[in-house]
Amino acid sequence: MRPRWLLSLAVTAFPFLACAKQACKCLSSQPCWPSSTDFSELSSQLSQPLIRPTPPASVCYPPSNPSGNCTDVITHLTDGPFRSNIPGAMESINFESFTFDNGTIDACYYNFTLGVPCDQGNIPILGVDARTVADVQAAVNFAAKHYLRLVVKNTGHDYLGRSMGRGGFMLWTHNSLTTILSSRVVLPLVTKNTKHQIALTVGAGVQWYEAYAAANDHGRLVVGGLSAGGSVGAAGGWIQGGGHSVLSPSYGLGVDNAVQFTLVLASGKYITANAYQNQDIFWALRGGGGGTYGVVISVTYQTHEVLPSTSIFCFINFTSPAIAQNVTTEYFAMLPALADAGWGGYTFFLQEALVSVNFASNDSLAQGNATFSTFIDRALAAVGNPALVTVQTQSFPSFYQAYQTYFSGTGQVGGTTELVSRLLSRKVAEEQPEKAAKVVLGITDGAQINFVAGGAVSKVDPDAAGLNPAWRESLGLLISGISWDEGTTTTVINRLRQGAASDLEALDTVSANSGTYFNEASLYEKDFKKTFFGSHYARLKDIKRKYDEDDLFLVAEGVGSDDWDKSLNCRRD
């Protein structure tokens, strides 16, 4: 049976002490929390009433006990677009819960038959439903004035729980500037030598399923995130963390396609950042991590010509460990050439099978087919039985049609998930593919590679953006993870985490400089500065200090978080 964390991919406690303002953030449980008069004054500046986020499952408990809304919430538990409309919902429901230092869990479980009371968990009790730039500015200024723990949340697609925070004040951008615009002039400063192109500008509330449709309506292709239902935000943490896609080997990562940001800084100032103005923060926003430098209002992406697209799906059954090692070695050996041909995709490695789906535009089809055919021939020879190998090729008029076929369903959200990950070194795949195969097959609950690098990604100057330079030496992201049932004790969860830590040590041996993706990784990295940012950390922190000296914007294992305790509520001594 495939582990739930694998299917989902297709906090520490804080002290309840009244800390001094200079040392600690003000939390909703403390006397320093703003008064009702303060909040009334804030409300007068907003286009919408203040929101009071609640656990999504609270409608299943008294006084609802349970209500009709409970049926909706449970029925749509794995529905990304549905859950993105709930301010208290997270992609991974474990991040809606909070664990105290003594191991006690405060939560509101979806399995209401457990008999556990419904509590607030890790969800802020109050926030702003930002619809305009002015709403964002008001919320930012208010949080800065009162030294609140500011939590910026969009859709809740966050494998590290960074868009929740117990005791915090939520700035919910999901409904903010949901406009999608297209233009032939990318930047306000265009020289006579600048090639005009069709660009796509998306507001903070736009999700990728909407952005893909808009680009397609204009006869263009945009590089974006892929998830079941397409509910990942197109102008949020995805792009600020790097933004990978199966299109990346052909067109680069999200950060390689972003040409402009607008954002609200910690000072409340609204700015534009691109290659011509505010170049330092433009550099940092492209891979330096979300929730760190300001609240992004919009992103402008370059777009590409629409070409026919092809997918190749394969399922290979293994009848022995030796066959599994042989076939998986051949798979990793194939990846460098496949990436150079512009192919990307996803592959699951189980001890009994390999499951893979890969995509390419037709301008790279011939070379990719030749490379993939060689792999299939060798896999057939190793397996020795054609009935154990399934290969399906499908052609589409455009990638948008392929996207609708493969990613229009539900799933990926609504479970408990914690990940560990490492970027796969191209050098290892070229010179030691058998080592990579042994590592992924050695992970009991299975592993996955997001084959989203190499090709065009490797051709970009490693210092062109704040992104970890390790991406430029890699072919994709190797991932493993853990999941558990609601109601599981902290003792058992910690035991699972120990196993995940061992898996991470194994993945590290085939990684490019121990690097990984800021958005799909572990909350328990030993050296997050190196792992997430590499040699760029010092420069990123200097930029952080320039624009956010008091750390209004702060996330777990983000730039500047090393100056704070694990709760992110109080500065280190």
Q: Which residue has the higher pLDDT, 13 or 21?
A: 21
pLDDT score of 549 more than 50: yes
The percentage of residues in the chain with a pLDDT greater than 90, rounded to a whole number, is: 86
The rounded mean pLDDT for the chain is 92
Cβ–Cβ under 8 Å, residues 223 and 247: yes
CATH architecture of the domain 36-172 equals 2-Layer Sandwich (3.30)
36-172 and 180-185+196-305+535-546+559-563 in the same fold: no
**Mean of the pLDDT values across residues 218-227?**
94
Q: What is the pLDDT of residue 369?
A: 78
| 12 confidence band (pLDDT: 50, 70, 90) | very low
Tell me how far apart the alpha carbons of residues 32 and 39 are, in angstroms, rounded to a whole number: 13
Q: Rounded to whole angstroms, how far apart are CA atoms 268 and 161?
A: 25
Radius of gyration of the chain from its Cα atoms, rounded to whole angstroms: 23
In angstroms, the CA 59 to CA 106 distance is 17
- The CA distance from 315 to 348, in Å, is 10
Query: Which of 12-26, 221-235, 453-467 is predicted with the least confidence, judged by mean pLDDT?
Result: 12-26
Q: Which of 365-379, 481-495, 507-521 has the lowest average pLDDT?
A: 365-379
**Predicted local distance difference test score (pLDDT) of residue 198:** 83
Q: Domain-by-domain residue ranges, the chain?
A: 36-172, 180-185+196-305+535-546+559-563, 309-396+407-533
Topology adopted by domain 180-185+196-305+535-546+559-563: 3.30.465
- Least confident range of 90-104, 229-243, 366-380, 552-566: 366-380
Query: How confident is the model at residue 18, as a pLDDT?
Result: 38
**pLDDT tier for residue 174 given thresholds of 50, 70 and 90:** very high
Per-residue pLDDT for 8 more than 70? no
Strands 150-153 and 169-172: parallel
Residue 13: its pLDDT value, please? 31
Tell me what pLDDT residue 409 has: 83
pLDDT of residue 171: 98
How far apart, in whole angstroms, are the C-alpha atoms of residue 118 and residue 500?
29
pLDDT value at 237 more than 50? yes
Structure tokens of 237?
């943490």
Query: What is the structure's pLDDT at 138?
Result: 98
Amino acid identity of residue 167, one-letter, is G
Dihedral angle over CA of 22, 23, 26, 27, nearest 10? 180
Name the nearest CA neighbour of 122 among 107, 109, 143, 101.
107
User: What is the distance between the alpha carbons of residues 445 and 28, in angstroms, rounded to a whole number?
Assistant: 40
pLDDT for residue 190 is more than 60: no
Segment 246-271 shows an average pLDDT of 97
Beta-strand pair 295-302/309-317: unpaired
| Residue 180 pLDDT level (bands cut at 50, 70, 90) | confident
Q: Looking at residue 5, what is its pLDDT? A: 53
Largest CA distance in the chain: 75
**Fold category of 309-396+407-533 in CATH:** Vanillyl-alcohol Oxidase; Chain A, domain 3 (3.40.462)
Mean pLDDT, to the nearest integer, of 486-491? 97
CA angle 283, 286, 287 (to 5 degrees): 115
CA–CA distance, 519 with 511 (Å, rounded to integer): 17
Strand order in the sheet with 126-129: 126-129, 169-172, 150-153
State the average pLDDT over residues 551-564.
Answer: 97
Residues 272 and 258: beta-carbon distance below 8 Å: no
Nearest to 86 by CA among 166, 180, 34, 163: 163
